Structure 1
Amino acid sequence: MSNPAPVARTPAGDLRGTRETHRGRPLAVFRGVPYAEPPTGPLRFASPRPPRPWPGMRDATRYAPAFVQSGNPDSAEDALYANVWTPATTGRRPVLVYLHGGGWHVGAGSVPTFDGAKPAARGDIVVINFNYRLGAFGWGLHEDLADPDTGHCANWGLQDQLALLRWVRENAACFGGDPDAVTLCGTSAGGSSARHLAVLPEARGLFSRLITLSAPSTRAPACALTPEDATAVYEALAKECGTTVTGLRETPAARVHRAWLDFFAAPPTLRAVTSGREYRGPVRDGRTVPAYTEDLPVPAVPVMSVHNHTEGSFFTDPLSPSFPPAPPAPTDDAELLAAVHDVLLKCAARVPDGLADACVRAYRQAAADDGLPDDPRTLWTEVWGDALFRHGIVRAAERHAREGSTPQYVMEFAHPVRPPHYGTPHDATSKFLFGTHGHPLNAAQFGDSPRERLLSDTFADLVTSFVRGTAPSSPHAPAWPVFAPQEPTTMVLGGPGTARLAHTPKLRQLRFWDGPGARSQR
């Protein structure tokens, strides 16, 4: 007996997907589903428009191209498409919407790591991921690019993410999803974007739960351009391309992208602007981004906040697929001091005299107090990960515990990667949430033994139970209480055993970033 391809009937038209299975559990999968008009021509640097209806049955069996980015010759501007994994197109299941990371300049929903089959099948939920605008086309600001209909002139990638949530609200039921039970989840840049969306009035009611995985603060100068610098950058791009700022809409996308990369190619201290030193994410425009992440109100929805044990090892492991590649690791105290100084320069235009030395001393003392390694590579890795990720994440969780009115669950993901890689690097979580640690792209680093498979099952259980509206739980983990900083309420996933509760590890080294000298860097 034939098993016909699944069909989803959406307001814009009918879609034909594919039938697939995960561990014997059936799924309907729809790829390359338009959620907005292509942002090309006059719609480049414009607010996203709803997708135009199509006649007949649209094929939804192939991924759309990734948005314009380096290292992917097939990437394109016509990339605002979603991908859906669902146990069935009937019913009313909770929905997980996933925002990929990539420093706001690379990544796509089609990356094999983000295949949504496992959480959809194991948790009986609908999983949706998607592409959004990146780099020069997604994360900047210039008043000459104001949209005549909305007035927006900045953060087009964040506007895409909001448009996707609106699309989910209108279309979830067509895929067997419940539009009133949507959880927004993002990793790294995606997690920071999700945090901004959580407080936007326009997003109110579009999702009811929030999961942030290794989400950095969006504060300038480390992770964003200031409005003034963003304006200067687009004027420089226009000059480089021989046009006006508005004329950038008509310039070939590849040329705009190349000019953007060239502008930021020099070391931060040699650039014409002092912000956007490490990443170019959401610009504080007063509308889509009213404040930097740590200055935003506490989310008014239940939160799962996850960070990794050694966020920095993603950037200090020469074998890790980081971009740019890791610099040589320091081997003695003089090289360590210089390496820490370079990390501090990611967070500020100038490093006060003596601050790098104070940072090294503080981390050495914390390592001695906690019985942790204090070799140059380890200390450099810890400083890097804490400066850009862990300090802001942990302090935000503590603030939510003090000020928030909704439950919050805090996790440290601690599963070590395989040698010669080391630590638990930034973005390790996505491989285990989606069960793609064994994919050929990931297996050499993350492993695919019974231990890794159990860890992935546990992580998927914790996330999908939270998506289903309960406290996160798994048969393989202890009961997970709401986060209370003074109690052992942090779920440590991986490391010795599969899961355990503990006080948040390595708090001593975070104290350096609370001091007046370090605060001036952030």
Structure 2
Amino acid sequence: MTSDHDRRSALGVLAAAATTAFFPAKALAMTQTDPIAETRLGKVRGMRQGDVISFRGIRYARAERFMPPVAPDPWTSILDATGFGASAPQSNPAPPPGPPYVILAQIPRPAGAPPPPPPLPESEDCLFLNVWTSGLNDGRKRPVMVSLHGGFFYGRSGSSVDGSKLAARGDVVFVSLNHRLNAFGYAHLAELDGTDFAQSGNAGMLDIIAALEWVRDNIENFGGDPARVMVFGTSGGGMKTTFLMASPRAQGLIHRAGVQSGPALRFIEPDAAAEATERLLHALDIPKADWRRLSAIPVTQLLAGYHAVATAQPPRNFAHLPHFAPVLDPVLLPAHPFSPDAAPCTRDIPMLIGSNGQEMSFFWGNDPAAFTLDEDGLATRARAFLGDRTDAVLALYRQAYPAATPSRRYLQLFSDYSIQAPVIAQAERKQGAPAWLYRLDYQSPALGGKLGALHTLETPFILNTVGSARPLVGEGDDPVTLARKMSDAWVSFAATGDPNGSNTGLPHWPAYERGQHATMLLDRTCHVENDPARMARKALADLVEG
């Protein structure tokens, strides 16, 4: 079975291109009508895309390797903000052979579709954000939706997220951002130098906080309301959102949180983070006494060392973070967000949280055998995480899904174990401000329908970009209708802290409560059901780490 790390690595390469539209920046002749926005450091010039004004590649901070971000210098001329900034370093200098692990690569592109854009350059100088808005200086203060990209803590870029469709509605300002990743963002050096490098293990999180401070200080000039900021994301973006909720430094910067298929209960412990750093030094053949060489070696060399460590030390499961991830810290991240209970800082932030019905097919691009299992194959794979309870749990799934093939039952079980069970645990542990739980059950027709409601499928529905995701969501009106309902609910949540809006077209969505477990089931027909994942919740709850 493919390792979780391999699956995660592939996620960073392909997910965005297949599920969201990507608009490469265009070189435009500057005119007097080009949109110009004022920031605290100087003016920036954007570009118009129909009813939307976009600003791309706005620098929000600078940072030296492993050091906290600092504010950039002010400027006097009008800076161009029509092209995305560089992505964080992430590419493996020596990628392994074989097909991609993410199955989206196997979905045929529509006839006549333009080729995907080339990847943006990667650079340590990557602390840029992007803004989409429908109005400047019009007296309106729209809620703000800040998207944190997926790719766990390894890869991807905020430039792959298309916020134009939500901004074009006129009722939100959309922001995406880049931050440092992998060893550049999370190499824990505090055990080696607790002064200059005390915060190196959380540099990526400090970057996101710096971007949110930029939003607080500047977003009103882009038509946004700094008092209504929703931070949200899918997969790793949901993890980052959850982790920020537990940080005292982020308090007041986040007013609502959206966690989509990204359950996160615990930070990495300092001793485990220090061990990963030692593994990195060993992979790079750097003596521990000479560890400061990490600050000067070439980018590709550091990436090679990171990928070697990540390959040799894969996570145990989807939510496990064995290396190069946010580190428990007495000041920045003083308590695990939802382990064993909710951290104090999470109490005042309402949450919109959920998962997709059959998440894990997304990661089976190089595992065709997973789609043709017999009963023995199902039992063998399940035993790897169920142990001596395998027979009992498989009997429950046979009873619940009598018409399903062994492969489909394994897909359901593996998805429930990997993502749905920890998502439910997070909702169960939420205290204070309410949480609303959902499950996306819409079945993708791609590849003959064998994928189900796979990981990242919610993205085009939430961002209302189904037009660019037809191979994944299918043709006809149903995807458009569901996208309208879901995007309206997410916008309502950004605006009010409650997904129940007057125009969503969804039935009333009760907040999650222990004992009721109300869940909005999102499909061609949407409805609320109490405890629809009861079997998985009871059978798998004690397997959730943390």
Is TM (by shorter chain) over 0.5? yes
2:329 partner letter: D
Instruction: Answer yes or no: is 1:209 the counterpart of 2:256.
Output: yes
Deviation per residue, 1:276-335 (Å, 9 max, x gap): 45x75323234333344431425312221121112222224x3xxxxxx44631622332
Corresponding residue for residue 442 of structure 2 = 415
2:455 is paired with a residue of what secondary structure?
coil
Task: Provide structure 2 residue ranges, at least 5 long, that are not aligned to the other structure.
Answer: 1-30, 93-118
Distance 1:73 1:86 in 2: 23
Query: Shift of residue 247 of structure 1?
Result: 1.5
Deviation per residue, 1:186-233 (Å, 9 max, x gap): 2111111111211211111112111111122354xxxx7542232233
Aligned positions of 1:181-200 closer than 5 A? 181-200=228-247
210-219 or 90-99, which moves further after superposition?
A: 210-219
Supply the RMSD in Å over aligned alpha carbons. 2.6
Change (3 A) 1:250 1:331: same
Change (3 A) 1:363 1:506: farther
Query: Shift of residue 376 of structure 1?
Result: 2.6
Query: Shift of residue 504 of structure 1?
Result: 3.5
Query: Shift of residue 11 of structure 1?
Result: 1.0
Counting matched residue pairs gives: 473
Corresponding residue for residue 42 of structure 2 = 13
Instruction: Answer yes or no: is 1:387 the counterpart of 2:440.
Output: no
2:179 is paired with a residue of what secondary structure?
coil
Corresponding residue for residue 505 of structure 1 = 532
Corresponding residue for residue 493 of structure 2 = 466
Corresponding residue for residue 101 of structure 1 = 150
Instruction: Answer yes or no: is 1:76 the counterpart of 2:123.
Output: yes
If asked which structure has higher relative contact order (CA below 8 Å, sep 6+), I would say 2
Query: Shift of residue 341 of structure 1?
Result: 3.9
2:276 is paired with a residue of what secondary structure?
helix
2:459 is paired with a residue of what secondary structure?
helix
Distance 2:315 2:148 in 1: 31
Aligned positions of 1:13-412 closer than 5 A? 13-21=42-50, 26-37=51-62, 39=63, 43-70=64-91, 74-90=121-137, 91-111=140-160, 114-122=161-169, 124-143=171-190, 148=195, 151-219=198-266, 225-243=268-286, 244-266=290-312, 268=314, 276=321, 280-295=324-339, 296-297=342-343, 298-316=346-364, 318=365, 325-326=366-367, 328-329=369-370, 331-342=373-384, 344=385, 355-368=386-399, 370-371=400-401, 373-400=403-430, 404-412=431-439
Distance 2:243 2:282 in 1: 32
**Contact (CA 8 Å) 2:230, 2:258: kept in 1 or not?**
yes
Report the TM-score, using the length of structure 1 for normalisation: 0.84
1:510 partner letter: R
Change (3 A) 1:241 1:484: closer
Task: Provide structure 1 residue ranges, at least 5 long, that are not aligned to the other structure.
Answer: 319-324, 345-354
Distance 2:362 2:87 in 1: 23
Taking every aligned residue pair, what percent have the same amino acid on both sides? 29
Report the TM-score, using the length of structure 2 for normalisation: 0.80
Query: Shift of residue 151 of structure 1?
Result: 3.8
Change (3 A) 1:104 1:267: closer
Change (3 A) 1:292 1:373: farther
**Contact (CA 8 Å) 2:338, 2:426: kept in 1 or not?**
yes
**Contact (CA 8 Å) 2:241, 2:257: kept in 1 or not?**
yes
**Contact (CA 8 Å) 1:218, 1:282: kept in 2 or not?**
no
146-155 or 470-479, which moves further after superposition?
A: 146-155
Distance 1:280 1:412 in 2: 30
**Contact (CA 8 Å) 1:312, 1:386: kept in 2 or not?**
no
